[in-house]
């Protein structure tokens, strides 16, 4: 293309994209006007108004998101037709809703990502835009079918992977590669396992798959939403902007420690304890611990009623316990069976003694009247209630598990290893979360407490309604005679009551708020990142959260750190989705330059010789370096790295053992990426337990441009490829 031809084409594309923004602005103004009208709510029921306001708010957010990088390319067919590809779809309302911009998720957009010279998908050209704000500043063309044409123009891709990193992960909607697109659009109703080494983009591919599923199956998915599970809060913060940037907000982000609402994780288990708690063997311990709390009295327990003394003896309690256990009900619900048997025996014995010599079973009415009186006496007897609490207590997951951990006797009774003992039973760990969640089902609800809570709430609602009615009576007075502040306060009270009534009729919290507060919430799809770290018990929690078993699972077995984590995907998946899970791998490293990946691959070959490292798509021209320092020199060397990187564009991190000031653990950087990484004392990271090599592998593969290593002892053999320097020069 001649220079003049290029300039003419650029101006034409600038004009077209400007027209798209004009349409976008018009849609945005229309939605805002409709939103303001709905917010006023004239002639609309409260629930109807809420639904309309929420829908328009979502649409407004979608249009706002689209402002950034609205259109990023064009496809030309063999017949000369053009299709523009962008972040959302825009239609010409005056021309039978003809598409003027195709959503990147639409089937017609797929060729933009997968067309190659060998397989052009009936396309003659792919044009990619370089934009700045709303302006198209450049474009590159890839013409299919011409001699020597490559499979994909790499200008946009290389520009994206070489760009300095910001505070969070960016979407790749403009640069999705063919192998990524195949996974994103995969039509599979069960579990999709995506495995890939560092930098292969498995996380961002999984997130784009969520956006694609929400686009193609919105009606089915949006009422229950999507859950994304990541290893730690820093990771979730890092990826948190990707889906909103694609216009999707009904997504809940959690770590494994967040899956029980209201629980605060404050401690960490040893690898030995983590392994046991993560295995299915712990289910036997939980059931035995519950059974241990279903006690028999050592001596008969007497209760003096008005006319007779009755006793709960071991024989009666054992019969009641057997019947309660045989009911198959969870522990708390089975207490009703236990109580029924005990009270039956006690009342039968009491009636026999009271009516001895004059009352027979033939006198049924008198017998039942006497039983009713005795049942009321027992129900009102605090000592009887206390005895039931001792023999068959109402338990919560916390009140079962915390005392178990602090009692060597209870641990022995439950058949548990004494390694589980700890001084503070409520110092919860991530490994406790699946146990507590399991106990919710094993223990069941306390129906009496639930009923009491409902009655209390109903009484409060009635009291609020009566109070509001009183305020309304006050408002009937001459408004001119009322103090302005009193009038305002009264109006606020009425408005608050209106909101309270509306909340009772229709929960006004958004999906994310409702889902995070509800342990029983179920999702239509779940994404699990760093899935190799999850235990067998973790998977039980997640499967309960998604009854239809629709998952995107992302991980790398070579990076497994947890002692309870996965050693194979089949071991974890087959028990839940036999024959309904598929495996896909990503093989291209878009993050880590070849110079750094060469060093990391040498380490990988030592601890996982059967794993093929991903192939880097680029070199950065900067060799990773190492420097040996003394203990006294180490702090200054770290400070020098931090100071040097502060003057560069992009992000950096220092990774090292927990006791080295100024460093973070490699496990805290999983899934993250930085322009520059300094690894401190790799020999100590490597020596930290059986999975130390995986930890070091993670540390070495976080950098996108520059990698440095500081060490006091000799470098591990696997890192001999690093260039030793006298001074820190990247």
Binding-site residue positions for ATP? 196-203
| Spatial CB neighbours of 484, under 8 Å, sequence gap ≥ 6 | none
**Closest to 697 (Cα-Cα) out of 717, 718, 712, 715:** 718
Helix (H) or strand (E) run with residue 704 in it: strand 703-711
Residue 281: CA count within 13 A, CB half-sphere:
11
Q: How far is CA 454 from the centre of its chain?
A: 30
Residue 465: CA count within 13 A, CB half-sphere:
9
Which two three-digit tokens encode residue 280?
A: 């299915």
Which residue has tokens 């939980």?
Answer: 286
Which two three-digit tokens encode residue 301?
A: 């327990």
Phi, psi of 129 (to 5 degrees): -95, 145
Which two three-digit tokens encode residue 278?
A: 């993560």
Q: How far is CA 216 from the centre of its chain?
A: 22
Bridge partners (DSSP) listed for residue 140:
128
Alpha-carbon gap, residue 472 to 466, rounded angstroms: 10
| Spatial CB neighbours of 355, under 8 Å, sequence gap ≥ 6 | 366, 367, 370
CB 110 within 8 A of CB 216: no
| Spatial CB neighbours of 224, under 8 Å, sequence gap ≥ 6 | 511, 515, 521, 522, 523, 524
Bridge partners (DSSP) listed for residue 90:
101
Alpha-carbon gap, residue 400 to 277, rounded angstroms: 15
Alpha-carbon gap, residue 558 to 636, rounded angstroms: 34
Q: Which residues are annotated as a binding site?
A: 196-203
Which residue has tokens 């599979």?
Answer: 188
Helix (H) or strand (E) run with residue 99 in it: strand 98-103
CB 261 within 8 A of CB 437: no
Instruction: Please calculate the CA angle 170-172-176 and round it to the nearest 5 degrees.
Output: 165
CB 66 within 8 A of CB 89: no
Alpha-carbon gap, residue 439 to 422, rounded angstroms: 19
3-state secondary structure of 659: coil
Burial environment of residue 57 by CB neighbours within 10 A (0 to 12, 13 to 18, 19 or more): middle
Other C-beta atoms closer than 10 Å to the C-beta of 87 total: 24
Alpha-carbon gap, residue 25 to 13, rounded angstroms: 18
Strands 301-304 and 551-555: unpaired
| Spatial CB neighbours of 308, under 8 Å, sequence gap ≥ 6 | 350, 353, 354
Alpha-carbon gap, residue 308 to 297, rounded angstroms: 20
| Spatial CB neighbours of 347, under 8 Å, sequence gap ≥ 6 | 371, 374, 375, 378
Which two three-digit tokens encode residue 346?
A: 């006690």
Instruction: Please calculate the CA angle 605-610-611 and round it to the nearest 5 degrees.
Output: 75
């Amino acid at each position: 293309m001649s220079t003049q031809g290029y300039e003419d084409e650029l101006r034409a594309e600038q004009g077209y994209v400007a027209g798209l923004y004009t349409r976008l602005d018009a849609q945005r103004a229309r939605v805002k006007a409709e939103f303001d009208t709905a917010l006023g709510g004239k002639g609309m029921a409260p629930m109807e108004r809420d639904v309309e306001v929420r829908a328009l708010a979502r649409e407004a957010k979608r249009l706002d998101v689209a402002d950034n990088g609205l259109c990023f390319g064009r496809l030309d067919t063999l017949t000369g037709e053009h299709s523009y590809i962008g972040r959302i779809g825009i239609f010409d309302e005056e021309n039978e809703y003809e598409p003027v911009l195709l959503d990147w998720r639409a089937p017609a957009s797929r060729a933009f990502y997968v067309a190659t010279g060998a397989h052009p998908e009936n396309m003659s050209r792919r044009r990619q835009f370089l934009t700045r704000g709303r302006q198209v500043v450049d474009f590159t063309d890839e013409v299919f079918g011409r001699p020597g044409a490559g499979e994909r123009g790499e200008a946009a891709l290389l520009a994206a992977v070489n760009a300095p990193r910001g505070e969070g992960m960016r979407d790749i909607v403009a640069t999705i590669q063919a192998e990524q697109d195949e996974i994103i659009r995969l039509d599979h109703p069960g579990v999709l396992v995506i495995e890939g080494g560092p930098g292969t983009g498995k996380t961002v591919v999984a997130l784009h798959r969520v956006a694609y599923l929400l686009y193609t199956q919105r009606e089915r998915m949006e009422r229950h939403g999507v859950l994304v599970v990541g290893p730690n809060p820093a990771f979730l913060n890092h990826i948190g902007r990707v889906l909103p940037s694609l216009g999707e907000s009904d997504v809940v982000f959690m770590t494994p420690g967040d899956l029980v609402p209201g629980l605060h994780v404050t401690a960490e288990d040893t690898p030995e304890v983590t392994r046991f708690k993560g295995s299915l063997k712990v289910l036997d311990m939980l059931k035995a611990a519950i059974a241990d709390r279903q006690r028999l009295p050592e001596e008969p327990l007497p209760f003096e009623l008005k006319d007779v003394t009755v006793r709960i003896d071991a024989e009666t309690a054992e019969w009641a316990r057997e019947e309660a256990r045989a009911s198959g009900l969870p522990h708390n619900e089975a207490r009703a069976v236990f109580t029924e048997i005990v009270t039956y025996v006690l009342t039968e014995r009491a009636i026999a003694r009271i009516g001895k010599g004059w009352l027979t079973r033939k006198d049924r009415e008198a017998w039942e009247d006497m039983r009713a009186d005795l049942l009321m006496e027992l129900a009102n007897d605090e000592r009887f209630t206390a005895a039931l609490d001792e023999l068959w207590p109402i338990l919560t997951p916390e009140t079962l598990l915390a005392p178990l951990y602090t009692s060597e006797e209870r641990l022995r009774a439950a058949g548990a290893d004494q390694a589980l003992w700890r001084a503070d039973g409520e110092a919860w760990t991530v490994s406790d979360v699946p146990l507590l969640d399991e106990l919710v089902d094993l223990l069941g609800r306390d129906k009496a407490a639930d009923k009491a809570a409902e009655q209390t709430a109903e009484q409060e609602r009635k009291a609020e309604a009566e109070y509001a009615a009183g305020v309304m009576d006050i408002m009937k007075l001459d408004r001119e005679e009322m103090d302005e502040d009193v009038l305002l306060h009264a109006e606020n009270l009425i408005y608050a009551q209106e909101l309270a009534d509306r909340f009772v009729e229709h929960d006004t919290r958004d999906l994310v708020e409702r889902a995070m507060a509800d342990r029983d919430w179920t999702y239509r799809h779940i994404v699990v990142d760093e899935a190799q770290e999850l235990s067998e018990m973790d998977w039980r929690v997640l499967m309960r959260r998604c009854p239809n078993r629709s998952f995107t699972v992302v991980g790398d077995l070579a990076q497994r750190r947890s002692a309870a984590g996965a050693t194979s995907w089949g071991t974890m998946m087959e028990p839940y989705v036999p024959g309904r899970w598929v495996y896909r791998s990503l093989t291209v490293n878009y993050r880590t330059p070849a110079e750094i990946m060469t060093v990391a691959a040498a380490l990988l070959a030592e601890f996982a010789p059967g794993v093929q490292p991903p192939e880097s798509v680029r070199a950065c021209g900067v060799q990773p370096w190492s420097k040996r320092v003394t203990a006294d020199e180490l702090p200054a060397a770290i400070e020098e790295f931090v100071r040097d990187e502060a003057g560069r564009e992009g992000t950096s991190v220092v990774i090292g053992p927990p006791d080295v000031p100024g460093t973070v653990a490699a496990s805290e950087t999983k899934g993250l990426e930085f322009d520059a990484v300094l690894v401190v004392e790799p020999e100590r990271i490597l020596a930290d337990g059986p999975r130390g090599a995986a930890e070091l592998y993670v540390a070495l593969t976080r950098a996108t441009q520059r990698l440095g290593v500081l060490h006091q002892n000799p470098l591990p053999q696997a890192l001999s490829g690093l260039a030793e320097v006298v001074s820190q020069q990247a």
